[in-house]
Amino acid sequence: MTPDLLEEGARRAAAHALRAEPGKTESGGRQAGFSRIARPGEVDVTHGRILYLEEVSVSFDGFKAINNLSLDIAPGELRCIIGPNGAGKTTLMDIITGKTRPDAGRVYFGSTIDLLRYTEPEIAQLGIGRKFQKPTVFEQLTVFENLELALKTNKAVTASMFFRLDSAQSDRLLEVLHTIHLADSVSAQAGNLSHGQKQWLEIGMLLMQDPKLLLLDEPVAGMTDEETERTAELFLSLKGRHSLMVVEHDMSFINTISDIVTVLCEGSVLAQGTLEQVQNDERVIEVYLGR
């Protein structure tokens, strides 16, 4: 067992002890997620976890894609998830975002929000943004219009027709434009951007909604080396302000951005630690890195 896992276990045991003693929890002994109303914009991270999965399993036609998986992420953390094809990485994101319902287990956003009680759009509203592998921007619209549209998506059609950015939203848009390195392309049509720029624009559209947790599935696939480097800078700049879960096969990218790396295999956590630690783990070499 690695020191990380030991520390992790001690932390989890402390959290369990709190739960076991009614009256000693910060929710006054009430069951987490029960009779407590999650206010929009607020996630209770008093237990030091923005995301918490415990013993989650899901099968497709008898095949266990996720198998008794437990994982948690700290607020502001940038967690990298690696593992062989079919390990369950995308399925894990499907479960967190409500696209797939697990057969068993618990999935919490902060200490109190039971994600299994929410629909996919509700989970997005709670502050979990997801980026799929393929960029999905509006090609006919400009960079500016795409970012502006990201603010409108929750509004009724009539409201969105009369929608004008207020000054806080304009400031946010400008800030996001700089963050995603597209300030010079604000009037460019999205369809004319490079593959990497489209990926950044889509990340920018997610950022417009100020998500607390961002899930990014293979964000640098198909990018040039230079675009990959700029994406690494971008993710490092988001860390702290947002929590991120990044799935990637590109090891040099993982090396640049990672603190803790979780290795998934056959739907479970095979190893966890720094990239160096997991790279030296015999089991990881055998199933993934040694190929």
Ligand X SMILES: Nc1ncnc2c1ncn2[C@@H]1O[C@H](COP(=O)(O)OP(=O)(O)OP(=O)(O)O)[C@@H](O)[C@H]1O
Chain residues binding ligand X by CB under 6 A are: 60, 65, 83, 85-91
**C-beta of 60: minimal distance to ligand X in Å?**
3
Name which of 87 and 271 has its Cβ closer to ligand X: 87
Report what 198 binds from Mg ion, ligand X, none; CB cut-off 5-8 Å by kind.
Answer: none
Using rule CB under 5 A, residue 100 touches Mg ion: no
Name which of 55 and 60 has its Cβ closer to ligand X: 60
**C-beta of 217: minimal distance to ligand X in Å?**
7
Report what 67 binds from Mg ion, ligand X, none; CB cut-off 5-8 Å by kind.
Answer: none
Using rule CB under 5 A, residue 97 touches Mg ion: no
Report what 87 binds from ligand X, Mg ion, none; CB cut-off 5-8 Å by kind.
Answer: ligand X
CA distance 240 to 129: 16
Count of residues of this chain found to bind Mg ion when the rule CB under 5 A is applied: 2
Per-residue H/E/C for the chain: CCHHHHHHHHHHHHHHHHHHCCCCCCCCCCCCCCCCCCCCCCCCCCCCCCEEEEEEEEEECCEEEEEEEEEEECCCCEEEEECCCCCCHHHHHHHHCCCCCCCEEEEEECCCEEHHHCCHHHHHHHCEEEECCCCCCCCCCEHHHHHHHHHHCCCCHHHHHCCCCCHHHHHHHHHHHHHCCCHHHCCCEHHHCCHHHHHHHHHHHHHHCCCCEEEEECCCCCCCHHHHHHHHHHHHHHECCEEEEEECCCHHHHHHHCCCEEEEECCEEEEEECHHHHHCCHHHHHHHHCC
Name which of 42 and 218 has its Cβ closer to ligand X: 218
Report what 265 binds from ligand X, Mg ion, none; CB cut-off 5-8 Å by kind.
Answer: none
Name which of 188 and 251 has its Cβ closer to ligand X: 251
Instruction: Name the one range near Mg ion by CB under 5 A: 42-50, 87-95, 135-143, 259-267.
Output: 87-95
**C-beta of 87: minimal distance to Mg ion in Å?**
8
Using rule CB under 5 A, residue 90 touches Mg ion: yes
Name which of 148 and 217 has its Cβ closer to Mg ion: 217
Residues that bind Mg ion (CB under 5 A): 89-90
